[in-house]
Amino acid sequence: MKRGFIIKKNTKRGFPDWPAITKEIMDYIVLGWDNVQDDGKVLPFDPESIAGLPDDVNLDLLDLSGGALALEQKETGPKNSKTSSPGS
């Protein structure tokens, strides 16, 4: 799947670059839009406007693409199975 390729491509020495991953996923999945508003103003489509989409729109699109994991790990850091085990 393209999302997996994007994540692998933007991971160096085991550390994912979540901002780059999120940007590349958004660039790939956003083909255009109609009737997107930010603070009541229509936001016309322009590929350069993807970064300026309202946060709720970004989250919805990433969730639909399966890319919400990128935002979650950007905020919390990657999971380390050696240090986080149930009951410890």
**Angle in degrees, CA 12, 66, 85, rounded to 5:** 65
Domain that holds residue 18: 2-76
Sign of the alpha-carbon torsion through 72, 78, 81, 84? negative
Q: How many CA atoms lie within 13 A of 44 on its CB side?
A: 1
Residue 82 lies in a domain: no
Give the total number of structural domains in the chain.
1
- Structure confidence by residue, pLDDT tens digits, 72-87: 455 555 544 444 444 4
pTM of the predicted protein model: 0.57
First to last CA, the chain: 35
Evaluate whether residue 8 is within a structural domain.
yes
The 10 Å Cβ neighbour count of residue 7 is: 21
pLDDT by residue (tens digit) across 20-70?
A: 888 888 888 888 888 888 788 888 888 888 887 778 887 888 787 775 454
70, part of any domain: yes
Residue 86 domain-assigned? no
Is 55 part of any domain? yes
15 beta partners: 12
